[in-house]
Homo-oligomer: A and B are copies of this chain.
Amino acid sequence: MILDERRHNILQTIETQGFVSLQSLVELVGASESTIRRDLEYLDRIGQIRRTRGGASFTGDSLTGFDERRGQATAEKQAVARVAAGLIQPGEAVLLDGGTTTLEVARQLIGRALHVVTNSLPIVNLLANQPEIELIQIGGYLFPKTGVALGPLAVSALSQIHVRRLFMSVGGITEQGLFNTNTLLVETERQMMLSAEEVVVVTDSSKLGHSALAHLCPLQKVHQLVVDQGITDEWRKTLEDAGIKVLVAS
């Protein structure tokens, strides 16, 4: 086994298992501890993995692609995604924002006859060869790391689109409304909201009560919100008072 192959194997093992011990890697690839340590150090240095005592874990920051980030898709996110996807009627046109939760929603759409519009490169890659799905890609400045298209081109393209539902992710939710991490993103998402009849926010409950850099919109602009069981009764009441229909995924 050559150097590259070994490192590739190690990386793949870590990506699929989430965590591996140094000892198990020694057995797996048949090299010495020193060599594996050096490989882990290298992979850590280039940001592919995070070293921990006794082994290494996945960082969720793959160099080559954005997709296949199944590891980050927790059971909660998948549950939320299933409920959200259940809202969609056959033949409907939906708009999907970028984000790990919306990526899970997209995964649930495979095999259904739908029109999907998205500015997310991972979602495009996921759905690109699905014959039942008609895929419209929103272009723009491609934001590194996350792989979403943003900026004037995206806004302009979105203004020419009309869909039944938007599935949107957020960076944080407070009584003041929705937040996200980046102003370009917020600008694009505002246009998304204008292009959809109904705005559905998909999120996990950890976002509730946290804000972020850029304010997106007040709560009243949201029609539905799908969230995992972790939501408190208080928050549920706050959201419902703002006119949001809250769906809890179980």
Other-chain contact of A63, B2, B55, B129, B136 (Cβ < 8 Å): B129
A214 within 8 A of B: no
Copies of this protein in the assembly total 2
A65 within 8 A of B: yes
Q: Shortest beta-carbon distance, A231 to chain B, in Å? A: 34
Other-chain contact of A152, B63, B66, B160 (Cβ < 8 Å): B160
Other-chain contact of A135, B5, B136, B142, B154 (Cβ < 8 Å): B142
The complex places the Cα of A152 from the Cα of B159 at a distance, in Å, of 13
Q: Is the CB of A136 within 8 A of B139?
A: yes
A57 within 8 A of B: yes
Q: Which residues of B contact A149 (CB under 8 A)?
A: 137, 139
How many residues of chain A have a CB within 8 Å of chain B? 51
A42 within 8 A of B: no
Q: Which residues of B contact A160 (CB under 8 A)?
A: 152-153, 156
A92 within 8 A of B: no
- Given A61-B64, A66-B128, A156-B157: A139 touches B138 (CB 8 Å cut-off): yes
